[in-house]
Structure 1
Amino acid sequence: MILVNFDFEFMIRIIPIMLKYSTVTIRLSFLAILLGFTISFFIAIIVYAKVPILSKVFKVYISFFRGTPLMAQLFCFYFGILPVFSKLVLKVSSFQAALIILSLASSAYMAESLRAAISSIHRGQMEAAQSIGMTYMQAMFRIILPQAIKVATPTLFSSFINIIKDTSLVFAIGVKEMMATAQLEGASGYRYLEAYVCVLLVYWGITSIMGFVQRRIEVRLGKSVGEIN
């Protein structure tokens, strides 16, 4: 009965609209991945090195963002924190607010992945590098991190894909992306099923491309899919 009432023509008609707003999703995802990975990079090094005070602060940071719902983080930041400081700082758009929270939340997951990967590298390599005159940071960037990133690639890409899927929540704070568009288009003709199926297909397409890129990178790194040495 549902398939009989399913309007394929309506779905085909709104696909170009979904694809148009998918650029917002892709741009938000790309920026969140870039910023989140950059933040996680430094957090992982600081936590691994057990830098006094900072390592404990970042452990709390990781625990907070991993232990609370993303939707609650978005609401708390956009509707709670920003209005309090709106007179003291520049006005932040809903897109910028979503980018900040997605970057911070994703950095907590990626930092743990990187820290675990760094810890998997035998400490003897660090000691050997320092014994030939390398500083701690030189050994970290030249010896340890290149190996750790290879180990962390599968879990990092899982985080990247999760970021893409998490962008579906930002419509709740007013970002006009695919989910917001699907609601509007679905409401216009009471064709919510068709609109949401369309969104699912576009997200599936984007994450499938990410999965393909992941497999290609793993092959180039000399790793089979999902294998962690």
Structure 2
Amino acid sequence: MNFDFQYMIDLMPILFRYLGITLEMALWGSIFALTLSVIIAIIRVFRVPVLNQLCQLYISFFRGTPLLVQLFLLYYGLPQVFPIMVGLDAFSASVIGLTLHFASYMAESIRAAIIGIDRSQMEASMSVGMTTSQSMRRIILPQATRVALPSLMNYFIDMIKSTSLAFTLGVSEIMAKAQMEASSSFRFFEAFLAVALIYWFVVIIMTRVQIWAEVKLNKAYIR
């Protein structure tokens, strides 16, 4: 079969209608993963007894196993062990899976950024009467954000691309729609090339946002 450029062009608007589901998964996953990763990073920095060891185990597991396996365990496996999870829908399972997977990576990036801040910053803030939590919130974390931003943005971009695995759970997102269209027309190359171009377009936008954010945060440090 010859390459059908017109078919790919006609398929684009159909796929774009499902892009919202992909971006919604990535957005919720990013918000939850960032929140969870900050909590884990702080626990690891202050070496909170018991919790620190549990966080280390969590990070080791989710960094050491494939995301697809984690999604299958969460959606197909855990409901057999915990009946309360039987009602978990595929979209929610995908968001939870993305959250747990990427939080394990982001937590280490944030922890490294916090450790990289000079200890004198914490000592100086506490010397003027701030509590530890106030020092972390007002002094340490804002500085750590600038350091961790490039790696965090890379994880956000990777999360957007990883939402393509959600179709294995039955989520009707852009990859699932491309698979269905390709199966009915046998135009697999055109369909998946269209998906690749759409993902590429989204990543280009996210890269521009990353550059803008880095310039914004580094403005105070430019002399």
**TM-score of the pair, normalised by structure 1:** 0.93
Once the two structures are TM-superposed, the CA of residue 85 in structure 1 deviates from its matched residue by 2.2
Once the two structures are TM-superposed, the CA of residue 133 in structure 1 deviates from its matched residue by 1.6
Cross-structure match for 2:129: 133
Cross-structure match for 1:189: 185
Pairs within 5 Å for 1:16-165: 16-86=13-83, 88-89=84-85, 91-165=87-161
Render the CA deviation track for 1:185-226: whole Å, top value 9, x for unaligned: 011110000000000000001111100000001111126xxx
Which of 193, 212, 216 aligns to 2:212? It is: 216
Give the secondary-structure state (helix, strand or coil) at the position aligned to 1:222.
helix
Aligned-partner Cα distance in 2 for 1:146–1:214: 16
Aligned-partner Cα distance in 1 for 2:144–2:201: 29
Once the two structures are TM-superposed, the CA of residue 82 in structure 1 deviates from its matched residue by 2.0
Once the two structures are TM-superposed, the CA of residue 14 in structure 1 deviates from its matched residue by 0.8
Which of 165, 170, 175 aligns to 1:174? It is: 170
Cross-structure match for 1:226: none
Cross-structure match for 1:9: 6
Aligned-partner Cα distance in 2 for 1:216–1:128: 31
Q: Is the contact between residue 79 and residue 86 of structure 2 (CA under 8 Å) also seen in structure 1? A: no
AA in 2 matched with 1:117: A
AA in 2 matched with 1:172: T
Q: Once the two structures are aligned, what percentage of the paired residues are identical? A: 48
Once the two structures are TM-superposed, the CA of residue 101 in structure 1 deviates from its matched residue by 0.6
AA in 1 matched with 2:196: L
Give the secondary-structure state (helix, strand or coil) at the position aligned to 1:91.
coil
Render the CA deviation track for 1:124-146: whole Å, top value 9, x for unaligned: 11112112221111111111100
Aligned-partner Cα distance in 2 for 1:129–1:222: 22
Give the secondary-structure state (helix, strand or coil) at the position aligned to 1:52.
coil
Ranges in structure 1 where 5+ consecutive residues have no aligned partner: 224-229
Aligned-partner Cα distance in 2 for 1:82–1:113: 32
Aligned-partner Cα distance in 2 for 1:76–1:89: 12
Alignment RMSD (CA, Å) = 1.2
Ranges in structure 2 where 5+ consecutive residues have no aligned partner: none
Aligned-partner Cα distance in 2 for 1:197–1:63: 35
Render the CA deviation track for 1:22-77: whole Å, top value 9, x for unaligned: 11100000000011001111111111111111111111111111111000001111
How many pairs were matched up? 219
Once the two structures are TM-superposed, the CA of residue 90 in structure 1 deviates from its matched residue by 6.6
Once the two structures are TM-superposed, the CA of residue 89 in structure 1 deviates from its matched residue by 4.7
Aligned-partner Cα distance in 2 for 1:52–1:69: 29
Give the secondary-structure state (helix, strand or coil) at the position aligned to 2:218.
coil
Aligned-partner Cα distance in 1 for 2:81–2:89: 15
